[in-house]
Amino acid sequence: MPQVRIIAKNFMDMVASLPAMKLDKLYDNPFICEAILRSLPPLAKKYVLQMLYIDVAVTDTLLQEWVLADGASKHKVAVDRLIQLRVFTEVVDRKKETTYLLNQKFRMNLREHIIRGGVPPREPMAANITVRLPSLEDLDNYAAQQWECFLLHLINSAEAEVTTKSISPSMMKVFQRGLLSQRDKEGPRLTESGFQFLLMDTNAQLWYIIREYISNSEDRGVDSADLISFLLELSFHVTGEAYNVNTLDDIQRTTVKDLADLGLIKLQQGRKDSWFIPTKLATNLSISLSDASSRKQGYVVVETNFRLYAYSTSKLHCEILRLFARVEYQLPNLIVGSITKENLYKAFQNGITADQIISFLQQNAHPRVAERVPSVPENVTDQIRLWESDLNRVEMTPAHFFDDFPSRDMFEAACDFAREFSSLLWEDSKKMRLIVKSEIYGHMKDHLSRQK
């Protein structure tokens, strides 16, 4: 079953996967160098800072002297990460000893950035030019509303009220890469990965979308290194401050419009100037996924009788619950439903697993039950897993049946041949009959014909 791979792919994983030339191009930007430094494991940060003013290669033996005796595994992780990001260049000297040299461009730009004191990439606009800016609370609400609208487009719910203009083609292309599929003369439909995606944490969903947005940037004629550079620069802006759109180039302006669909940016227009306001979703982009995943207040209560109560006014929450539960009625601030065998079977057929459903219920547990152990009743979680196992009791394997062997030697040779390819499903030695997987049927016929 395909799984949506999100957690392992944050920004720095994408940076590490870039070709060497693009990585060196990224290090022309001092803010990228600082973002890389922020993302490193603690021991890797120590190595970089201690080598920042050392212009010669440092031996691996010397590096290990900077670490406690029990830190060998952390040392390996730190060095591997630095090599992946080309912050370290590994060299073997004449004595066949491994040495490491700090990337010259990275070192010089990081030095300059530290000396200058981290001047922002662009200055905010003056308060007398901009109209009244939204408060941080209003900005958070806007980001949540935009993200909900974005996911409702994905679900393609008839109840979705589009509060903004339609999703841009570049964003829809992100969907088409794995979350949606479309056949001739049919509307787009969620794939298995799409159903799984909807149950993910918001931060994990955001990383997935951003990763896909960067991955298909070349198809839009945008250099992925330039796009990563701008996205990381955004994380150094101040949440809630206004920045002039005229300071951006054409590619950055298009990117800002796309990010506004996601709720990372709020666009505003004045009499003469227009500006963009980063939300927390944008300024947290350089933070690792684990650091960004702060627990949100949950809203779901599950009872031992499989009744489900969701204290929410969100239409998105209601649509997500419909993926695996029967929603019976919805009040202004309460969704009431139940977890049934029929609804779970439908979820399993769409590619959602029992563990994903249970994890969703646990992560979104209402504060009144979130501190309980377990937060979701054990009889409910056990039954969800049992219903999933019901669908996996019988496994269909295409096979062929052989009998009427002229001799026992030929029968034994056929069994040995099937065992060699791990394709023997069943044998009856007394009556000289066997069943093998269909994938070796042709080879089996050829083998038997040679035995005659």
Query: Other CB atoms closer than 10 Å to residue 83's CB: what's the count?
Result: 14
CATH number of 18-116: 1.10.10.10
- Name the residue with tokens 């500006």: 275
CA distance 293 to 243: 27
**Predicted pLDDT at 186:** 65
Give the DSSP per-residue string, 11-63: HHHHHHTS-HHHHHHHTTSHHHHHHHHHHS-HHHHHHHHHHTT--S-EEHHHH
Beta bridge partners of 70: none
CA distance 120 to 137: 24
CA distance 421 to 424: 8
pLDDT tops 90 at residue 120: no
CA distance 87 to 81: 9
**Per-residue three-class SS string for 202-244:** HHHHHHHHHHHHHHCCHHHCCCHHHHHHHHHHHCCCCCCCCEE
pLDDT band at 166 (very low <50, low <70, confident <90, very high): low
**Predicted pLDDT at 375:** 93
**Domain residue ranges of the chain, discontinuous segments joined by +:** 18-116, 136-291, 300-390, 399-451
Beta bridge partners of 99: 59, 91
Is 212 within 8 Å of 370 (Cβ atoms)?
no
Q: Which residue has the higher pLDDT, 10 or 94?
A: 94
Same fold, 18-116 and 399-451: no
Q: How far apart are the first and last CA of the chain?
A: 43
- Name the residue with tokens 């419009």: 257
CA distance 124 to 127: 9
Q: Give tens-digit pLDDT for 238-256.
A: 899 999 999 999 989 999 9
- Report field, pTM of the whole predicted structure over 0.75: no
pLDDT band at 10 (very low <50, low <70, confident <90, very high): low
- Name the residue with tokens 């209560």: 301
pLDDT tops 50 at residue 451: yes
Mean pLDDT of 31-48: 89
Is 379 within 8 Å of 304 (Cβ atoms)?
yes
CA distance 106 to 100: 14
C-alpha triplet 200, 201, 206: angle, nearest 5°: 95
Is 153 within 8 Å of 167 (Cβ atoms)?
yes
- CB-based contacts of 349, cutoff 8 Å, min separation 6: none
Q: Give tens-digit pLDDT for 349-369.
A: 888 999 999 999 999 999 999
Mean pLDDT (the chain) is 84
Mean pLDDT of 62-71: 86
CA distance 68 to 364: 40
Strands 307-310 and 189-190: unpaired
C-alpha triplet 35, 40, 41: angle, nearest 5°: 155
CATH number of 399-451: 3.30.70.2610
Residue 108 CA, distance from chain mean position: 33
Residue 337 CA, distance from chain mean position: 29
Q: Which residue has the higher pLDDT, 209 or 288?
A: 209
Q: Which of 207-216, 258-267, 286-295, 302-311 is the most confident on average?
A: 302-311
Mean pLDDT of 291-315: 83
C-alpha triplet 335, 340, 342: angle, nearest 5°: 120
Q: Which amino acid is at 297?
A: Q
Is 330 within 8 Å of 319 (Cβ atoms)?
no
Q: Which residue has the higher pLDDT, 446 or 173?
A: 446
